[in-house]
Amino acid sequence: DMSSDEDAAPAAAGVASGTHLLGFSDEILLHILSHVPSTDLILNVRRTCRKLAALCLDKSLVHTVQLQKDYQVSQDKVKQLVKAIGREIQQLNLAGCYWLPGATIEQVGRCHGLVKVNLSGCHLTSLRLSKMLSALPHLRSLAIDVSPGFDASQLSGECKATLSRVRELKQTLFTPSYGVVPCCTSLERLLLYFEILDRTREGAVLSGQLMVGQSNVPHYQNLRVFYARLAPGYINQEVVRLYLAVLSDRTPENLHAFLISVPGSFAESGATKNLLDSMARNVTLDALQLPKSWLNGSSLLQNLRFHNPLYFSFSRCTLSGGHLIQRVINSGRDLRSLASLNLSGCIHCLSPDSLLRKADDDIDSSILETLVASCCNLRHLNLSAAHHHSSEGLGRHLCQLLARLRHLRSLSLPVCSVADSAPRADRAPAPPAMHAVARGFGKKVRIGVQTCPGPCSGHAAPPPSSVFWSLLKSLPFLERLELIGSNFSSAMPRNEPAIRNSLPPCSRAQSVGDSEVAAIGQLAFLRHLTLAQLPSVLTGSGLVSIGLQCQQLQSLSLANLGLLGKVVYVPALLDMLKHCERLRDLRLEQPYFSANAQFFQALSQCPSLQRLCLVSRSGTLQPDAVLAFMARSLHMVVCHLFTGESLATCKSLQQSLLRSFQAERPALNVVIFPLLHEGLTDVIRDVPMVHLDEITLFKSRVAEEPPNLWW
């Protein structure tokens, strides 16, 4: 019931030696309330007293409603929210709310003042979409999925009128279709995500020919941003070519960002060559990403014009350092505007010539020095998936040069790049692995939590002279860090069977171990951490340093730490988890991992944990421990376990979890399946895209997309 301000006053007496919350100014209270989820704000906080009731309806709080990743939001809560403030909402984000039925999503149509709405990952039929958009005459920005069964002919005239005014469209395609693009005649920003599988669930082969007969005249004349991201598969390439065909006829004069992200090869066609030639003649870009085959060996970069560029991605290109300096940096051109640079997989980008260089040769530090000097305001840099080895020389190590980029907020590096140039006499050898278990006759040993006391009473301190330690000391505001082995590949790739074998780590990575991991503890603002293929992690003592000192950590991804088959860092990991109060996402990929009661007991001490993904070839799990963990962890909504357990064990556990928790956790997504089972690909296709993209599949995320691409 609504109470008066006086009713709240007695509560102040219970606040020891301080001003009651309501004694703060309205400005301060509004700032505090801006951090409260919209559903709690309107359905709970607003009912506490009259003053908060008025503040909770302030325009600054109800103008934008974010329900993305609010896993507690239910059908009733959405209806109550729309009823209370629907007329005031101008921006609404429901992205990834896959558990809400279409009838609930249709409530969006009651928010008649909406200007921007994100419905990616939501269930919508063509008819529901038509009805909803018909009621939103002010809409200018829209994000939707196009799923099998979508039929543009079912869109009403009022719906098409709304779409004709939309300027920003994000469209995720799960079926060959133009979606609503032909209806959007005023488009300025178009983002396309191609997630079409080559075959249907029944095994039928899909083809872009299904789009023949659909309206195929997208209106690109006002387009400023074109972005396309393709999942693996031939069909996605076939469909994106149909979208690009119109661009090749007439390139928009105002185009300033052109980005196509394609895994693997994507051959040029006559139409794409015409498009690139037209872009070189007619447009000036500030963001660029092209398939590697379009750039390799071509002079395209020399011909394209750039003005105050913000984002470059040359991921997986064979671009040499010489070409990078000449064609992109233009021999030291001022690129202070560049905020994000992705050079992942560019194995020759720090070498003057790609023809004479071996992949693991030392880098040319002068190229990196020029890059750092020209792009001095970089905030996001990705150098992963390559061997960037530094030679001896004072101040010439890669880490020492990157330390000059004081504005960096996210950084991805290969493990071997942070190794010191040569072994140092002043450095003590790595301590032996604690609790190591010998492997007799070559048999791999599955090791879980040891019964003896853990090694975490004293954790390794990084040597002050380490170049990696010095680098992180120079970047105190880093929020995302990735250290990924040059040869690492996840056991669970996209749309393919699990990988049974992996390449050995780079020899230089052997000198990167617990002390380097401990150095990460300096990053007090770190939110996202990825460590993959660090063979010299022994006790894992550095993980405890991170748990104790990186109190802002929200997502943690660990893969193939230590020697495969010897999971001796587990006691340290469990000790680390006790301190991770803000951890929401944990992804752990480790062969022969034993997910036993002690592991899940430690996970239960992460009060904010929402999503867990475990990938373990020949690994084991204890079903009772999983059930007990889910019962204790009230915020858990994603449990993905891919191990060596039998199909019967996996199915039984999955059914038990869904039966026990689905009713009280509507967003619950449980996938438990044998990692090496032939049916894994079919199981993965049912995982909601928000989870598949963010936690189930392993990938580097630094500089993956331009900053502020969408919302």
Instruction: Give the mean model confidence (pLDDT) for residues 295-319.
Output: 86
Convert 420-432 to b/e letters by CB count within 10 Å (16 or more is b): bbeeeeeeeebee
pLDDT in tens, 18-31: 567 788 899 999 99
Instruction: Give the mean model confidence (pLDDT) for residues 542-568.
Output: 94
Which of these, 425, 347, 344, 340, lies nearest to 387 by C-alpha position?
Answer: 347
Query: Left if phi > 0, otherwise alpha if psi is -120 to 50, otherwise beta: which for 264?
Result: left
**What's the chain's average pLDDT?**
88
Higher pLDDT, 272 or 156: 156
Contact 552, 524 (CB under 8 A): yes
User: How far is residue 357 CA from its own chain's centroid?
Assistant: 33
Which of these, 281, 293, 299, 337, lies nearest to 317 by C-alpha position?
Answer: 293
What does the pLDDT read at residue 631?
Answer: 97
**pLDDT at residue 15 is higher than 50:** no
What does the pLDDT read at residue 339?
Answer: 97
Query: Left if phi > 0, otherwise alpha if psi is -120 to 50, otherwise beta: which for 253?
Result: alpha
Flag the least confident range among 160-174, 424-438, 450-464: 424-438
**pLDDT at residue 91 is higher than 60:** yes
Contact 687, 640 (CB under 8 A): yes
What does the pLDDT read at residue 439?
Answer: 36
What does the pLDDT read at residue 219?
Answer: 80
What does the pLDDT read at residue 213?
Answer: 54
pLDDT in tens, 28-59: 999 999 999 999 999 999 999 999 999 999 99
Question: Of all residues in the chain, what percent carry a pLDDT higher than 90?
Answer: 71
pLDDT in tens, 177-228: 999 999 999 999 999 999 999 887 777 787 776 565 555 566 889 999 999 9
pLDDT in tens, 648-694: 999 999 999 999 999 999 999 999 999 999 999 889 999 999 999 99
What does the pLDDT read at residue 331?
Answer: 52
pLDDT in tens, 447-494: 444 333 344 444 455 556 689 999 999 999 999 999 999 999 999 878
d(CA 604, CA 210): 49
pLDDT in tens, 304-313: 889 999 999 9
What does the pLDDT read at residue 318?
Answer: 86
Higher pLDDT, 299 or 117: 117
**pLDDT at residue 711 is higher than 90:** no
d(CA 425, CA 110): 71
Which of these, 180, 175, 139, 190, lies nearest to 156 by C-alpha position?
Answer: 180
The H or E element that residue 308 is part of is: strand 305-313
What does the pLDDT read at residue 212?
Answer: 56
Strand partners, 481: 411, 529
Could you tell me the sign of the dihedral formed by the alpha carbons of 619, 669, 698, 265, in that order? positive
What does the pLDDT read at residue 333?
Answer: 65
Strand partners, 311: 287, 340
Strand partners, 587: 557, 613
The answer, as to whether pTM is greater than 0.85, is yes
Contact 537, 567 (CB under 8 A): no
Residue 14, classified by CB atoms within 10 Å of its CB into exposed (0-12), middle (13-18) or buried (19+), is: exposed
Contact 154, 131 (CB under 8 A): no
Instruction: Give the mean model confidence (pLDDT) for residues 104-128.
Output: 96
Residue 545 pLDDT level (bands cut at 50, 70, 90) = very high
| Contacts by residues 628-632 (CB-CB < 8 Å, ≥ 24 positions apart) | 628/597, 628/600, 629/600, 629/601, 629/603, 629/604, 630/657, 630/660, 630/661, 631/660, 631/661, 632/604
Residue 498 pLDDT level (bands cut at 50, 70, 90) = confident
**pLDDT at residue 394 is higher than 90:** no
Strand partners, 92: 65, 117
Token look-up 């660090």 returns 534
Q: What angle do CA 131, 134, 137 make, to 5 degrees?
A: 150
- DSSP assignment letter at 330: T
Single-letter code of the amino acid located at 550: C
Strand partners, 672: 641
**pLDDT at residue 441 is higher than 70:** no
Q: What angle do CA 390, 321, 306 make, to 5 degrees?
A: 135
Output the six-digit token pair for 306. Answer: 């750039």
What does the pLDDT read at residue 300?
Answer: 79
Backbone angles phi, psi at 483, to 5 degrees: -120, 105
Strand partners, 341: 312, 381
What does the pLDDT read at residue 299?
Answer: 73
Contact 517, 545 (CB under 8 A): yes
User: Within a 10 A sphere around the Cβ of 692, how many other Cβ atoms?
Assistant: 20
Tell me how far apart the 2 most distant CA atoms of the chain are, in Å: 80
Which of these, 695, 709, 711, lies nearest to 340 by C-alpha position?
Answer: 709
pLDDT in tens, 70-83: 999 999 999 999 99
Higher pLDDT, 5 or 375: 375
Which of these, 485, 481, 482, lies nearest to 508 by C-alpha position?
Answer: 485
